[in-house]
Structure 1
Amino acid sequence: MDISNSTKKEQSTFGIILWIVLISYFLILLNNSLVFASTVQIRRELGMNGVMLSWVSNAYALTFGGFLSLGARLGDIFGRRLALLSGLAIFGLASLLVALSPSAGILIAMRALQGIGGALLAPSTLALLMDTYEGQQRTRAITYYGATAGIGSSLGLIIGGIISSYSSWRLGFLLDADVALVLYAMSVKNVAAGKGQKDQAIDWWGTVTSVIGFSGLVYSINATAYRAGAIIVTIVSLAAFIMIESKTANPLMPLEIFKDNQRSSALVARFFMLGASMAYFFMMPQALQNVFGMSALQAAIAFLPLTVVQFIISLFVARLTFRFSNTAVLIAGAVIDAAGLAMGAVIGIEEGYLLGVALPMVFIGLGQGLIMSPLTVAGVAGTRGDIAGAASGAV
């Protein structure tokens, strides 16, 4: 356990740990939002075609997805503090190098390095939250974690829009590096050095097959060439990964995480919900700029019907789950989110911003605001402390 018992017993205040967790999560959201808001400017400055531009996001997703299981398990073995500091250091350095990239190739490579940093950072923050808080305090902390998705996306798009409209997109990634540096200093001072489970060996065969398998999965979804081969490699690698994890004494991804129906259902739901959400956030800013001639800042402001509604409803999710149950709120959110996406597809952007974009965004924001926290709670429900990092990685 990485946090002292005295910290865990505090019931009157959340302390600095929650701020470190939320700002770290905001850093990841800010990074994605900067890319979404800056794609048009990046494409123009570096002379990218559509395929190369997509790899500014895909390169990050490839390494983030591929190394996430390893990053999560390293936090269990070596302690949350080391995983958190390593993730912040790699993420911050990569952000600086992205800002200084002289060409499209180097930019894409540094985005891949950012993904490795994110793969260490993301699960360590959620696991740190689980280690620190219990009971209703943990539920409230996870609610704030979910609410950060709303305000983080909103602020990130606006910050990215302002930077792209009045300065260079490179300034945004310098901002990423600065935030990572501040977080590193906060974590060194306030996050206790945990013992971890250093007596456990790293599951190297599981690591190799998971990196190949999950990277292949991302590539097979996003790439334009050799997709059939990538799918075959993915199936073979993930099948081998599951076989290894079922037999090894210290699995990279303990399969007991998936034996609980609640957790498994939450993970599947999260996969499809975020698949739709990230695609929407990547494509819509470009559509708003290309169809309506908006600037990057105007396109960011145009997202406010979604992000503001998501943030506001997120603040009430804890009360709703206590009253109606986590499952009921989750189902309601999924239905509303799907309705909003369907509405946008049926009406179409050509019908104008208010009817074709803003109205569906209200439903999407409402649905996602109801979904995020319950999915997170369900995804880590009932996990032991020694596999909290692996469970967070799965989420």
Structure 2
Amino acid sequence: MTAPPRPGPALAALAACQLMVVLDASAVNVALPRLREDLGFTDAGLSWVVNAYVLTYGGLLLLGGRSGDILGRRRMFLAGMWTFTAASLLAGAAPDGTVLIAARALQGVGGAIASPTALALIGTLFDGPSRARAIGVYGAVSGVGGAIGLVLGGVLTDALSWRAVMFLTVLPGAAAALLARRHIPESPRAPGRFDVPGAVLATLGCFALTYAVVHGAERGWTSAGTLAPAAAAPLLLAAFVVAERRAPQPLVPRALVADRRRAAANALLALLSATSFGSGYLLTQYLQRGLGLGPAATGLAFLPWSVLVFAGARLAAPLEARAGPRAALLAGSAATVAGAALLAGRTPVGYAEGVLPALCLFGLGIGLAFAAVTRAGLVAPPELTGAAAGLLNVSQRLGGTVGLAVLVAVGGFGSAFVAVLLYTLATVALVPFAARRSAEAAPGALPAPDPPPTPGRPERQPSPGRPSDVARRTE
């Protein structure tokens, strides 16, 4: 795939996609109480404003990632962005709750197509140090976007209405689509066709698992509405595995699952997501309920987290270049362990002396580790980058959803952070497997770009060079 003549606008379009997805999630959560008053939602109905998005987004990520490989990544990125943008307009103008929930589900469809395709485009458009920087920016936007969403969501809801929050992602979505149309070249299509049985089984399995988790957290883990999908999910996912083994062109290509490093990287990303989602949720609840902060003040309180996520993501590239990916992963995981240890088993007294140090450690650690593990999980041949990105997005989404549900079930601030501490210790244990030097030799894998980049999707063939240069780049 040819690099764009102006990489800046191309990266801006891809980063705007990630900003849009993260911004929407945090801003909508802040607007829920006002939205309930205006549209007359019940408690159960209000939860579907969030769940409709989560279910379609989580269920369609694998299919969305693979669609870019087969149909063209630029084409599918544009389709996803325009779908999300149109759905945001519909949500903001929704006359009743039914239309709003349908619009949120449609946003999930657009996000499931655009998000993995954007990550795949970074892997193919950028190479060497530029790829490391691009992934650092992409990852940093994720952390900053959450806090921006909290602040803007609170301000817009108080000053205008919840509808302004729904319209918030329209401009970033439209701008990203227009920039991509002008500055991102189309990728060559991979030969093949969609694995329809695999896509159906994967979507239903992810849907059932996600539904069981969100329903269990709200209605109880022993209710029929939780137990039925919880029992169906492993059966559907097992059937998906069987179907993939028999399919001539599987939805998750065999080259992706044959590499143990990639499997460890996806597991590590799931645990990092559980740590990030879970600790963010717990600390947000404590700031509002324990310390009495409002939505906008809570968003401002999270700014150190966001700034350090940004800094950590940008630091990952030079750290990997000097000491390799294992150093970046270990440093990031160790920082999250320290943050969880500060809060495990106890409730902080105040913000400055209790919450702030943990926020800073979590932010720095998550920024470093997310960047490095994304790069490790994206080592794949160019024609499979979309599938690899979809797999990473599924790991992130399901890890965050299931991890948060476990913390809600545990209950109690200090006890829940004991579980967070276990998540972080498990990430440390996985680092040696996710950053093995020999991993690049797995079937279908490509050597990593020149200086060991940060979180990246090594999609393109490395630049020609001496054999010794290529050997050094396989870390």
User: TM-score under structure 1 normalisation?
Assistant: 0.91
2:179 matches 1:154? no
Moved over 6 A (4+): none
Taking only aligned residues, the RMSD between alpha carbons, in angstroms, comes to 2.1
Q: 2:104 and 2:281 mapped to 1: Cα distance?
A: 16
CA deviations on 1:319-342 (whole Å, 9 max, x unpaired) are 111122212211221232133234
| Counterpart AA for 1:201 | R
Task: Extract unaligned runs of 5+ from structure 2.
Answer: 393-475
- Counterpart position of 2:198: 206
2:253 matches 1:251? no
Task: Extract unaligned runs of 5+ from structure 1.
Answer: none
- Counterpart position of 2:387: 390
User: Contact between 2:31 and 2:165, CA under 8 Å: does it hold in 1?
Assistant: no
SS in 2 for 1:271: helix
Alignment of 1:13-28 (within 5 A): 14-28=7-21
Instruction: Give percent identity, aligned residues only.
Output: 32
CA deviations on 1:334-384 (whole Å, 9 max, x unpaired) are 2321332343343325x2222342222111112111111101101102x00
- Counterpart position of 1:375: 373
- Counterpart position of 1:221: 213
CA deviations on 1:275-313 (whole Å, 9 max, x unpaired) are 332244445444433333322211111111211222223
Deviation at 1:189, TM superposition (A): 1.8
Alignment of 1:112-127 (within 5 A): 112-127=105-120
Structure 1 residues 19 and 81, CA, compared in 2 at 3 Å: closer, same or farther? same
Deviation at 1:176, TM superposition (A): 0.8
Structure 1 residues 202 and 265, CA, compared in 2 at 3 Å: closer, same or farther? same
CA deviations on 1:186-210 (whole Å, 9 max, x unpaired) are 222222233413x522111011101
Q: 2:43 and 2:359 mapped to 1: Cα distance?
A: 25
SS in 2 for 1:391: helix
Q: 1:227 and 1:338 mapped to 2: Cα distance?
A: 32
2:326 matches 1:334? no
Alignment of 1:38-187 (within 5 A): 38-48=31-41, 50-187=43-180
| Counterpart AA for 2:373 | L
Structure 1 residues 88 and 168, CA, compared in 2 at 3 Å: closer, same or farther? same
Structure 1 residues 91 and 70, CA, compared in 2 at 3 Å: closer, same or farther? same
| Counterpart AA for 1:335 | A
| Counterpart AA for 2:34 | Q
User: Contact between 1:37 and 1:160, CA under 8 Å: does it hold in 2?
Assistant: yes
Structure 1 residues 286 and 53, CA, compared in 2 at 3 Å: closer, same or farther? farther
User: Contact between 1:154 and 1:308, CA under 8 Å: does it hold in 2?
Assistant: no
- Counterpart position of 1:357: 355
User: Contact between 1:66 and 1:211, CA under 8 Å: does it hold in 2?
Assistant: yes
Moved more, 287-296 or 80-89: 287-296
Moved more, 23-32 or 221-230: 221-230
User: Contact between 1:165 and 1:296, CA under 8 Å: does it hold in 2?
Assistant: no
Q: 1:49 and 1:290 mapped to 2: Cα distance?
A: 22
Structure 1 residues 208 and 366, CA, compared in 2 at 3 Å: closer, same or farther? same
Structure 1 residues 282 and 164, CA, compared in 2 at 3 Å: closer, same or farther? farther
User: Contact between 1:380 and 1:391, CA under 8 Å: does it hold in 2?
Assistant: yes
- Counterpart position of 1:304: 303
Structure 1 residues 40 and 358, CA, compared in 2 at 3 Å: closer, same or farther? farther
Structure 1 residues 310 and 50, CA, compared in 2 at 3 Å: closer, same or farther? farther
| Counterpart AA for 1:164 | T
Q: 2:56 and 2:293 mapped to 1: Cα distance?
A: 32
SS in 2 for 1:368: helix
Structure 1 residues 292 and 106, CA, compared in 2 at 3 Å: closer, same or farther? farther
Structure 1 residues 371 and 51, CA, compared in 2 at 3 Å: closer, same or farther? farther
Q: May I ask how many residue pairs the two structures share in their alignment?
A: 385
| Counterpart AA for 1:203 | D
User: Contact between 1:258 and 1:264, CA under 8 Å: does it hold in 2?
Assistant: yes
Q: 2:119 and 2:109 mapped to 1: Cα distance?
A: 17
SS in 2 for 1:238: helix
2:30 matches 1:37? yes
Deviation at 1:236, TM superposition (A): 1.1
Q: 2:166 and 2:114 mapped to 1: Cα distance?
A: 17
